[in-house]
Amino acid sequence: MARIATLTTGCMESILSGVDIDKPVVQILGSKKIPGPEGTDRLRLLVSDGKHLNSFAMLATQLNDLHAKGELDENTIVRLDRYCTSMVNKSEKGDRRVLVILELTVLTSGLQVGKKIGTPVPYTGEPQKPASNVSKPAPSAATPSSNTSNGSAFGSRPTAASPYGASNGSSFGRNAAPSTQGGQQLTHPIASLSPYQNRWVIKARVTAKSGMRSWSNAKGEGKLFSMDLMDESGEIRATAFRDAADKFYDLIEVDKVYYISKCQLKSANKQFSTLNNDYEMTFTNETTVQPCDDDESCIPKMQFNFVPIAQIANIEPKAAVDVIGVCKETGEIQRFTGRTNNKEFIKREITLVDSSNASVALTLWGDDAVNFDGHVQPVILVKGARVSEFGGGKTINLGVGSSMKINPDIPEGHKLRGWFDNGGGDEIQSNVSTRSAAGGGSFNTEWLTFHEAQLKNLGADDKPDYFQVKAVIHMVKATNATYKACPQPDCNKKVIDEENGMYRCEKCNQSYTNFKYRLLINMSVADWTSNRWVTCFNEIGEQLLGKSAQEVGRDIEEQGEAALQTMNFKSYVFKLRAKMEMFGDVGRNKMTVMNISPVNYKEYNRHLIKDLQELTGIGKV
C-alpha cells in the first residue's frame, strides 16, 4: 500500500499569523462553491494540518479544474506549493485572514487516505506575533467562541477579534504603508485580488503605461491614464481617472515596482483587454502608491516573448507580439485627419531589422512619433506590438497595451547591437511589410459585416477601403447587366451602336463590324446585418454565372432577365472595395466586388469563434 503523505502539523497556526511556511502539507476535508461573476466560481476549502482546521482556504480560480476533475476530493493530501494569506474585512466583528492557494500538488488521493487525519479543531486563536521560528509559536490570545468548537467550520462566523482590525495600526487597510513582518513587506499576489476583498497591498511592476487621455461623451468628460501591473502571480490593468490621474501620472513609471493598495476592483471587460485577469482596478482617492525602494527581485522583470521579424509575416492581424530590432530607417512625421471623428493623428513609420534578416515597419503614434530620434539607429523593443495587415504586408503598431523601450539593457538588445554594428543589417532579405503587387489581391481583407462597414464609415471618401463579408446574392438587376464593348483585347470601352452594323469605339477612334459582351452586374447582397448594392465586373460575373460574357450576352438576348436568375441565393465570401465616387455633383458610396470565393466554413467559423471570444472573453487564451 502506498505511503500516505505526512501533514505539516501545526502549520496552519503559523500561516494564519503571517509566518511563511515553505510548502506545507495539508489535508482537504471539504469544499464549497462560491458563485462568482460571469460563471467564475471560487472554491472555498476546508483544510486541516492534523491539528487545526481552516475553513477559509480559497482556491485560485486557475486551479478550479483540478477540483472539477475530482482531484481535490475529501481526505486528499496536498502540498501547497504557493499560497498567500489575505485579510478580508468580513463584518463588524472584524477581519479574517484567508488562505489563498495558488499552486498545489496532490500527494495522496482522498480515496487512498480514506479518513480524516488526527482530530483537528478550528483555529480560533488570534494570530501570533510574527515568529522567526515556526516551532516556537507565540501563545495565542484566546478568544474562545461558542460556535467554532464543533469542527463544522463551514458556516461558522468569524470570531477572532483580529489584531488586523480597524483599530489596529498594523492593518493593511488602515495604513497607507504596507506593514512589515520580519523585515519583509507583506503583500498579496495579483492573482488573488477580487472585488470580495479590499484589504490588500500588491507589490507590482508597471509593464505598460498609457499617455494621459481625455474623453468627452454623453455621460460626461474627463481624463484618464491606465497601466498594466505584473507580479509573480499574474497581471492586471489599472486605470486612474480625473484627480487620481493627475495625482499619480508622474509617479508611475514603466518598469518600476510599486506597493499599491486601496483600489476598486471590478470585472474586466474582456472586449478591451488582453490581460490574463478577470478583474481590473481603478485608482480612487483612497489609493496609495509607493515606489518600492527595497528588494524588488521577487517581482519578475518584464517577460518578453520575442518573435523574429521574419515570422511576423505569419502572424494574424490584431495579434500582439513582442519584437526587438534595430531601427535601420526613420520616416518623417506624418499628420492626417481621422476619417470617422475628424481627430488629428500624428504618426511616424520606422523600419526595424533583426538577425532573421527581415525588416518590418513599426508605426509610432502621437508623442512617441514626435519625440522619436532615430539618427543613432537605436535598438527598439516593443512589448505587445499590434500586428496589422495592409495590402498583404504586415506592419506593427505601438498601440494600447504596447510599450516601447529604446536601447533596452537586456542580452537580446546587446546581441542585436553587435550584430548590426558588424554589418548585420546590410543583408536584409525580406520586408514583411511589403505589399503584394498592385492589381490582384493587394488589399486588406478584414472580416466585417455590412453593419460594421457602415459604422466604420467605410468608403466615406475617395480613398478606397477593403473588407470581406460572407453574404448571399438575393437580387440581380438584369437591365444593363451586359454592355457591348470594343472587340480589341486590351480595350473594354463601351462601343456606340451606329445602327448600321458598325460599332464605334471612341477610345480606339475606330469602327468595328463586331463587338464583345462585357458584364457589369449590379446586385444586392446581404449578410445577417443588412444588404448592399454592389457592382461586379466581367470576370467576377463570369465566375458567378459559370459562363463566358459572350454566352451570357447571348442568353440575355434570348431569355431576357431569366438568364441571370441562377446567380440568386448563393453565398460567397465577397472581397469588397468601398469608395466614394462622384456622379456629377453627387457623391455616392460605391461598393465593388474585387473577388469572390466559395465559403470556406472552417475558416469562416474560426473567424466567428474569434469574434465571440472577443465579445465575451469566454474561451480566450
Binding site for DNA (CB under 7 A): 210, 213, 215, 217, 219-220, 222, 224, 226, 239, 241-242, 244, 266, 268-269, 272-273, 280, 282, 284, 334, 336, 338-340, 343, 345, 347, 363, 365-366, 386, 388, 390, 395, 397, 399-401, 461, 463
Give the residue with the Cβ less far from DNA, 219 or 375: 219
Distance, in Å, from the CA atom of 58 to the CA atom of 230, rounded to the nearest integer, reads 21
Give the residue with the Cβ less far from DNA, 282 or 510: 282
CA distance readout (Å), 134 to 10, 11, 58: 9, 8, 23
DSSP code of 149?
A: S
Closest to 267 (Cα-Cα) out of 232, 236, 311: 236
**Rounded to the nearest whole angstrom, what is the least distance from the CB of residue 439 to DNA in the complex?**
16
Cα 598 to its chain centre, rounded Å, is 31
CA distance readout (Å), 217 to 257, 268, 555: 34, 21, 57
**Rounded to the nearest whole angstrom, what is the least distance from the CB of residue 435 to DNA in the complex?**
8
Give the residue with the Cβ less far from DNA, 86 or 395: 395
Give the residue with the Cβ less far from DNA, 337 or 480: 337
Helix (H, G, I), strand (E, B) or coil at 605: helix
Give the residue with the Cβ less far from DNA, 242 or 590: 242
**Rounded to the nearest whole angstrom, what is the least distance from the CB of residue 577 to DNA in the complex?**
12
Residue listed under C-alpha cell 494569506: 85
User: Which 3-state string (H, E, C) describes 64-77?
Assistant: HHHHHCCCCCCCCE
CA distance readout (Å), 322 to 303, 312, 355: 9, 10, 15
Give the residue with the Cβ less far from DNA, 226 or 538: 226
Give the residue with the Cβ less far from DNA, 279 or 304: 279
Closest to 309 (Cα-Cα) out of 416, 192, 232: 416
**Rounded to the nearest whole angstrom, what is the least distance from the CB of residue 328 to DNA in the complex?**
18
**Rounded to the nearest whole angstrom, what is the least distance from the CB of residue 359 to DNA in the complex?**
15
Distance, in Å, from the CA atom of 458 to the CA atom of 444, rounded to the nearest integer, reads 13
Going across the sheet that includes 503-505, the strands are 496-497, 503-505, 510-512
**Rounded to the nearest whole angstrom, what is the least distance from the CB of residue 356 to DNA in the complex?**
22
Give the residue with the Cβ less far from DNA, 401 or 408: 401
**Rounded to the nearest whole angstrom, what is the least distance from the CB of residue 86 to DNA in the complex?**
23
Within 13 A of 599's CA, how many CA atoms are on the CB side? 15
What sign does the dihedral 132-133-136-137 (CA atoms) show?
positive
Other C-beta atoms within 10 Å of 101: how many? 23
**Rounded to the nearest whole angstrom, what is the least distance from the CB of residue 553 to DNA in the complex?**
37
**Rounded to the nearest whole angstrom, what is the least distance from the CB of residue 341 to DNA in the complex?**
8
CA distance readout (Å), 613 to 365, 388, 600, 618: 28, 19, 20, 5
**Rounded to the nearest whole angstrom, what is the least distance from the CB of residue 426 to DNA in the complex?**
25
DSSP code of 306?
A: B
Give the residue with the Cβ less far from DNA, 214 or 480: 214
Give the residue with the Cβ less far from DNA, 518 or 577: 577
Closest to 404 (Cα-Cα) out of 372, 382, 378: 382
Helix (H, G, I), strand (E, B) or coil at 303: coil
